[in-house]
Amino acid sequence: MFIKIIFVDIIKCLNNSTIATTFEGGVRIVDKAEIIRIAVEAGIAAAIKHIEQEKNKEIKSRQGKRLYNTKLLLQNYNILKDHCENSISNLQEIAHTENAIDILDSLDSCNNNTYIESIKRSTTRTYIILAHIDEMMKLYKAYSLSSSKPEEIRRYRIMDAVYLDELKMSDVCERQKIDRSTYFCDINEISKKLSALIFGIDGLSIMRQR
């Protein structure tokens, strides 16, 4: 709609054969060809700017949704694991006919309340997603434990304690000797890195940010 309005305005300009523009020292008469050139250049520039702004909004919105979905996946990790193990006697026999990232991408339209339930509807898909998360957790562990930064090692321990062992925040804070503010900050950083890995958003570049 925005772009359409821009070019409707350009067409209106073409109805005038000439137009007078004021500049310092007098008035300059602009002919139709120059009107077209100026109007089209301005319209294209405005359209490109608008498209870039909308694209950036879309990217930020998708990243925000994926970050939130990562937190949902981690918070429900053990529930999904139990659901999978109770439904299939031998998980290793499942053929990986689908890609985990493709499955997760297909769930983008799910709202926050139905996201996990949508995954659980297919035990095969649940297993594929969990196997993918397990691999990304291993990669995150290797990254964290090889880091020279103490906070990265602490964050791996927090991830393990919160999402695998399901310890309470108070117990985690006591074990790691951190306050609530640091705890929530670490949870957010853990989620960001795992989101990059789980959803395949250039995980290697994230890993280089040490």
Contact (Cβ atoms closer than 8 angstroms) between residue 146 and residue 111: no
Of 181, 185, 186, nearest in space to 161 by CA: 186
- How many structural domains compose the chain? 2
**How confident is the model at residue 15, as a pLDDT?**
54
- Same domain? For 130 and 91 the reply is yes
In a domain, 37, yes or no: yes
- Same domain? For 88 and 167 the reply is yes
Q: Taking the CB of residue 158, how many other CB atoms lie within 10 A of it?
A: 24
- Same domain? For 18 and 88 the reply is no
Q: Which residues are bridge partners to 20 per DSSP? A: 29
In a domain, 127, yes or no: yes
Contact (Cβ atoms closer than 8 angstroms) between residue 157 and residue 176: yes
pTM: 0.66
- Same domain? For 58 and 107 the reply is no
Alpha helices, DSSP H only, in 76-202? 77-87, 100-106, 115-120, 123-145, 150-159, 169-176, 180-198
**How confident is the model at residue 4, as a pLDDT?**
47
Rounded Cα distance between 210 and 198, Å, is 19
Q: Could you read off the pLDDT tens digit of each residue along the chain, which spans 210 residues? A: 444 444 445 555 555 555 545 444 554 555 667 766 677 677 777 777 767 777 677 767 777 888 888 999 999 999 988 887 766 545 555 555 678 888 888 888 888 788 888 888 888 888 889 989 999 999 999 999 998 999 999 999 999 999 999 999 999 999 999 999 999 999 999 998 999 888 875 444 444 444
Of 96, 103, 74, 49, nearest in space to 191 by CA: 74
Contact (Cβ atoms closer than 8 angstroms) between residue 163 and residue 75: yes
**What range defines the domain where residue 167 resides?**
75-207
- Same domain? For 15 and 46 the reply is yes
**How confident is the model at residue 40, as a pLDDT?**
67
* DSSP three-state, residue 14: coil
In a domain, 96, yes or no: yes
**How confident is the model at residue 9, as a pLDDT?**
52
